[in-house]
Amino acid sequence: MAAADKLNGAYWRKRAIELAEKQKQEDDDLCLRFHREYERILHELDKEISIFYARYAANESVSMADARRLLRDAELEDFRMSLDEFRDKALAGGFDKELEEVYLRSRISRLQALQTQVELRMMELFSSQRDVLRDHLQERYTDTYYRTVYAVSQQADVASTFARIDPQTIERILAVSWVGSEFSSRIWADKDKLTRELMQTLSRGFVRGDSLDRMTKEFAQRMGVSESRAATLIHTESAHMAAEAAEQGYRETGVQSYRFEAALDLKTCAVCGALDQREFPLAEHETGINYPPLHPRCRCTTVPVTEFRIGSKRAARNPATGKTEYVEKKLTYEEWRKKYVEEDADKTEWEEYQRVLGEKAPKTLEEFRNIKYTESKKWGIMMENKRLFEKIDSTETYSPEYRAKLKETYQYFSDAGFAFREHALNRVLGQKTGKDKFTFTKEELLRILNKPANYQQPDGKYVRFYDGISVISADDTGEIVSVVVKRTPRKDWTAL
């Protein structure tokens, strides 16, 4: 019996180490992705501050008095135009109300204009962080849960019925408060902290008459501290989601107790080390006390306490049919997941695409799976279509008739090979008349879209400017981000 227990303990420890290494690598990859995003936003901030200094600096510094002067009409128009790039991001990120208040303000100082651009960059950065980290945590929870169910099944004669994880499960867990707040609150708290720090840096710099070089260095320092906090958030939230997923897997496979597994190296704290190899009833687990994570960046994990059993076959209950099927115990995790999880998940996902996209969705499950797994470009377009349609459907201020027009307009241009963001669609449908304004048809706009870009904005976006209509497209994806009626080109556009 002792030999069996020893063998069983070695099995679980080996599995825990392999899974921990895999998850750490994934977290490190995400930290690197966040690092690149911080670098990109910092570059954008540096560019905007440099433009500000070029306009208003005397002897390479800007005084507070100069910074507080109101924007002239031409400057105000340029400022409003520069906000256009944020409109679609604002709608997608849920901060369109804040942007609209700034956009409609008639009197604004130079300092307020720069502060607004800084704040919008922070909104952009942290909205992206929230969405990317949410996807990462969803995948972490799902993968850990299925791996836990699979691993326990290898040690039991019969695998218990288990659930297929859906996004709503993850949302409920993310909404639960732990360590004092819930997931989104921690993201936005850091956004508010960094925004305040950058605003203070601007104000102090103008009071002191700091040079451009000193100002940008202080911005880089503040951004670096925030990036470090983001890395801590990634590792801690990921550990929490993995622990929650393992606990659900234990419950649904009949595990009654677990063993605490501390990371065995010099970085392990005394609290975690004292719990190493101790067993606790699953019903008495308490995050932060006897269940990981115990603290930020905690690397400890748990393993289930099970009996060691040997056999060539096991019975697995199919979650879709509810029937018990006997399979070889040597079935790999990838084979098991494909058979018992993914095939049913693809069917549910296809049905969801049919519900949202209607006749534009793949007609059969086979066609859907073919696009998903073999046609990456087409799959990316289809995912973006679904995301946009869901956003349109969830916007309460849109009437049913207007939603239908947005989708119809989007599809008209999509069929012609052009992807429109929501802000651009609103610009097409919400055309205004009056001084220096005129209306245009979809056909006229399509004619312009088929012409080459002939200008480029300072932020890199390309512009097709013909017949008083400027169509602005993203420089990386080519998506149409805005449509603006203008009699003449903007002064800061570069002719191509």
pLDDT at 358 over 70: yes
Q: How far apart are CA 127 and CA 489, in angstroms?
A: 32
Query: Which of 54-63, 279-288, 431-440 is the most confident on average?
Result: 279-288
pLDDT digits (tens, 9 = 90+) for 67-111: 888 887 777 766 766 666 666 566 555 566 666 666 555 578 888
How high is the mean pLDDT of the chain? 83
Q: How far apart are CA 239 and CA 225, in angstroms?
A: 22
Q: Compute the average pLDDT of residues 468-487.
A: 87
Tokens of 87: 């409109």
Q: What is the reported pLDDT for 387?
A: 84
pLDDT at 217 over 50: yes
Q: Compute the average pLDDT of residues 263-267.
A: 70
Tokens of 289: 């006390």
**Confidence grade of residue 310 (pLDDT, cut at 50, 70, 90):** very low
Q: Which residues contact 6 (CB under 8 A, 6 or more apart)?
A: none
- Choose the weakest-confidence range: 158-172, 289-303, 349-363: 158-172
Q: How far apart are CA 423 and CA 86, in angstroms?
A: 9
Paired with 464 in beta bridges are 471
Q: Which residue has the tokens 């520069």?
A: 82
Query: Which of 152-156, 200-204, 315-319 is the most confident on average?
Result: 200-204
Q: What is the reported pLDDT for 452?
A: 92
pLDDT at 1 over 50: no
**Of 324, 259, 311, which is closest to residue 154 (Cα–Cα)?**
311
Q: What is the reported pLDDT for 29?
A: 95
pLDDT at 220 over 60: yes
By the 10 Å C-beta count (0-12 exposed, 13-18 middle, 19+ buried), 37 is classed as middle
Q: Which residues contact 97 (CB under 8 A, 6 or more apart)?
A: none
Q: Could you give the count of Cα atoms lying within 13 Å of 396 in the half-sphere of its Cβ? A: 1
**Distance spanning both ends of the chain, measured CA to CA:** 79
pLDDT digits (tens, 9 = 90+) for 127-183: 889 889 988 999 999 999 999 988 887 766 545 567 777 777 788 888 887 767 778
| Helix (H/G/I), strand (E/B), else coil: 362 | coil
Q: What's this model's pTM, rounded to 2 decimal places?
A: 0.67
pLDDT digits (tens, 9 = 90+) for 428-456: 888 766 666 788 889 999 999 999 999 99
pLDDT at 318 over 70: no
Question: Which position has the higher pLDDT, 1 or 366?
Answer: 366
Helix (H) or strand (E) segment spanning residue 129: helix 110-154
